[in-house]
Amino acid sequence: MNKGIAITGMGIISSIGNTVEENLTALKTVSPGISRIQMLKTRHSEEIMVGEIKKTNNDLEKELGLDPLHSFSRTALIGTIAAKEALENANITDVNKYRTGFVSGTSVGGMDTTEKYYLDYTETEEHRRYIQAQHAGYTTQSISDYLGINGYVSTISTACSSAANAIMLGARMIQAGKIDRMIVGGTDALSKFTINGFGTLMILSDSECTPFDDDRKGLNLGEAAAFLVLESDAVVEKENKKVVGRVAGWANANDAYHQTASSSDGEGAYLAMKKALKVAGMTPVNIDYVNAHGTATPNNDLSEGVAMTRIFGEEDTPLFSSTKAFTGHTLAAAGSVEAVYSLLSLRENLIFPNLNFKTKMKEFSLVPQTELVSKEMKTILSNSFGFGGNCSTLIFTK
Amino acid sequence: MSDCFINGIASISAQPTTDPNTFLDEIIHYQESIFKAHDPNYKEYIKPAAMRRMSKSVKMGVTASSIALNNSGVEIPDAIITGTGMGCKQDSEKFLENILHNDEQFLTPTLFIQSTHNTVGGQIALGLGCKAYNVTYVQGSASFESSVMDAKLMLSEEPEKNILVGGIDEVAKNSTMLHKLDGQIKADPIDVINLLKSNTPGTVTSEGSTFMVLGANKVERSIAKIVDIETISRGGIEDVSIAITSLIARHNMKIDDLDAVVLGNNGDINFDLYYKNLQNSVFSETEQLCYKHLTGDYPVASGFGFWLGCKIFETNNAPDILKVNDITAKKYENILLYNQYLGKNHSIVLLQRC
């Protein structure tokens, strides 16, 4: 088996909590964060349910102590909060003591500020500092500059699998000895752009989402940021670091079926899981639990479910659940949000429930884990899929 | 550690650069600060039915990748890695404007579907039926280089692979104009060929796409070896100089071993200082070449530098239009590329002739 890359810290902000421990409490007490939208003005506020962080941009910038003339979009603000917690959690005070890189996944970057100011840029000079801030790379650099990371900094944008790909890249770079330490994850704020985009695709649910349910109506969008600190074994040993868990398997495959829809045989998802197991040097029986992508769209849950039956066998699929009914689908951040949850599952030996499930899907016999349950686990597989056919799988170990 | 060879390359830019038999023989002069790519005949590469739905980015990306694959003799790559600074800006802009002008009503999904940064990578995969690794990097002017770094890493893990790597950026009507408002683009029209001597802030912009096929083994078609590549998110003028010197030293080379340097000068008086410092110090005795007075500047414009390097190796010649000092190399074996934008996203690349 692949020993994997050590994870020494994590940070998260989502609609169920502003820190790792707050998120854990919400998961343990089964307190989902799905509500009507309050922070963002949209004409759809009465039609959709979302996973929204109930803090204004003003609250967030105060917490970070930013200059009032900053050019942080909301995506950058929540990203900085989560990345800062990850560094603190990993007990890193001098970020440049080792070769340290930063990779963030985001789908729309600073679109939240662009859509606020786009029409008045010609009139209002003071807002023009946000023109550059629309770009995904700028969002990432707002965070890396705040943390003082100046070397390798990059952004991955593969829609809803972005953060999973960022974690994979970090693990690969450390494994190859290219770098000693990587802060990896993703961030996405709610925006009118994505709300209306997913709206036109008719995949937004008007009530709480119901992953893997036969009557599922679509997803709840969410906003979140989550980051992990990955460190080489040499650094772990030298600094006598506490290891939270390890990322031992990773893979990315393309469904090559449709720009936005997943194939009905789940080929991309199947290939991603298969290859991740290979990288980890494991077989399907090694997997104790699957944190599924499970967005609750008719298309995703069918495709992912079929792919799981192909990997594990319909009768032998391990316990699985989607945590999207807690947080909403946090798009580019989903892979790192669920990485944090997977690591918490390993630490606490708890499986967090798939909420709102009532009816088994017609197409297969898979039933998600619907109650909070305690189980001794060594290995968790986590899926993230996105537009463009992007399918990514990560495997975490104790 | 495996090597990394460029086994095929193609570039679409504001100049006619897709004819393999010419090398900047004919130069188009632009008189405005925002100009479009010189379009190849896309019909030769894309079926008409598919083309109708394609945005400019997708057309350029699919075409450049198709030429690069063809040059390399690889039919289906083992990974597709793309870079873009601003993604599919035209469709994003239209979708955003529809939201804002119609108060979030009367929207259709097509523009949204095509607005994601990974649209081009996804479309290439779909077109080829390629189910392999597929990732898109979006890191300003280091987007192309981020993709190359991933490919190089992958070749060290799995040397048998052929990897398709490319960059795409397009001009969009209104969002590109915004860069005039915030000073990134020069306010007044300019004779672009004189860009490097403009002495004013801001630059000029355009669009384009460069694709390469990379492999770990040297083959007959190999044009150049990517010896090393590095990106630096943020750094001062001195930091860059030190980074370049140490990158060269890592390969037991001296600055004298470089036959030419390809620099990303873009005529912005505030940030060309990064290049000028090197031109007047470490590179004072080296042939210096620039290209953004031909192509404009955009996040993946630095991909054009890779294409230039390959063309110079192939033809053993650097066209005069690129030269910014009086030194001409006797031979072209080692070429260094350096680029940055607004003092950020620096990239250093060492290319070696095959």
Note the pLDDT tens digit of each residue in B256-281.
999 999 999 999 999 999 999 999 99
The residue among B122, B168, B152 whose CA lies nearest residue A252 is B122
Query: What percent of chain B stands above pLDDT 90?
Result: 98
pLDDT reading at B1 higher than 80 = no
Mean pLDDT of B183-187: 96
pLDDT of amino acid B95: 97
Are the Cβ atoms of A200 and B122 closer than 8 angstroms? no
pLDDT at B2 over 90: no
Alpha helices in chain A (DSSP H): 20-28, 57-64, 74-89, 111-117, 136-147, 162-175, 192-200, 233-239, 267-280, 298-312, 324-327, 334-348
**Tens-place pLDDT, residues B23-54:** 999 999 999 999 999 999 999 999 998 898 89
> Would you place residue B3 in the very low, low, confident or very high pLDDT band (cuts 50, 70, 90)?
very high
Q: Is A293 a catalytic residue?
A: yes
Instruction: Provide the 10 A C-beta neighbour count for residue B158.
Output: 14
Structure-derived torsion over alpha carbons of residues A293, A294, A296, A300, reported in degrees to the nearest 10: 70
Q: How far apart are CA B245 and CA B272, in angstroms?
A: 19
Asked if B143 is an interface residue toward chain A (Cβ–Cβ < 8 A), one would say yes
Record: contact B153-A173, CB cut-off 8 A = yes
The SS3 call for residue B201 is: coil
Smallest CA-to-CA distance from A244 within A233, A257, A229 is with A229
A44, A135, A293, A391: which one is catalytic?
A293
Count of A-B CB contacts under 8 Å: 194
A44 is an active site residue? no
**Average pLDDT value for chain A:** 97
CA A32 to CA A26: how far, in whole Å?
Answer: 7
Q: For chain B, what is the mean pLDDT?
A: 97
Chain B residues touching residue A121 (CB < 8 angstroms): 178, 181
Q: Which helix (H) or strand (E) holds B245?
A: helix B237-250
Q: Which residues pair with B262 in a beta bridge?
A: B289, B337
* Tokens standing for residue A48: 């959709």
Confidence of residue A185 (pLDDT cuts 50, 70, 90): very high
User: Over the Cα atoms of chain A, what is R_g?
Assistant: 19
* Whole-model pTM over 0.95: yes
% of residues, chain A, pLDDT over 70 = 100
Q: Is A371 exposed, middle or buried (0-12, 13-18, 19+ CB in 10 A)?
A: exposed
Structure-token match 């070449």, residue found = B289
Q: How far is B227 from chain A (nearest CA, A)?
A: 15
Band the pLDDT of A353: cuts 50, 70, 90.
Answer: very high
Alpha carbon B187 to chain centroid distance? Answer: 24
Partner-chain residue, chosen from A149, A155, A254, that has the shortest CB–CB distance to B134: A254
What average pLDDT does this structure show over A147-162? 97
Compute φ and ψ for A218, nearest 5 degrees.
140, -175
Alpha helices in A69-152 (DSSP H): 74-89, 111-117, 136-147
Looking at residue A244, its pLDDT comes to 97
Q: Which helix (H) or strand (E) holds B351?
A: strand B344-353
pLDDT at position B176, please? Answer: 93
Q: Which residues contact B340 (CB under 8 A, 6 or more apart)?
A: B141, B240, B264, B271, B274, B346, B347
The residues that bridge with B5 in the sheet, in sequence order, are B215, B225
| pLDDT tens-digit readout, B95-124 | 999 999 999 999 999 999 999 999 999 999
Q: In whole angstroms, what is the distance from residue A149 CA to residue A328 CA?
A: 30
CB < 8 Å from A in window 292-351 of B = 299, 344-345
| Catalytic pick among A44, A70, A127, A160 | A160
Segment holding B273, helix H or strand E: helix B273-280
The ipTM estimated for the assembled molecules is 0.97
Residue with tokens 């469709």: B91
A292 close to A299: Cβ distance less than 8 angstroms? no
pLDDT surpasses 90 at A261: no
Q: Are B127 and B133 in contact (CB under 8 A)?
A: no
A379-385 and A289-291 beta bridge pairing = parallel
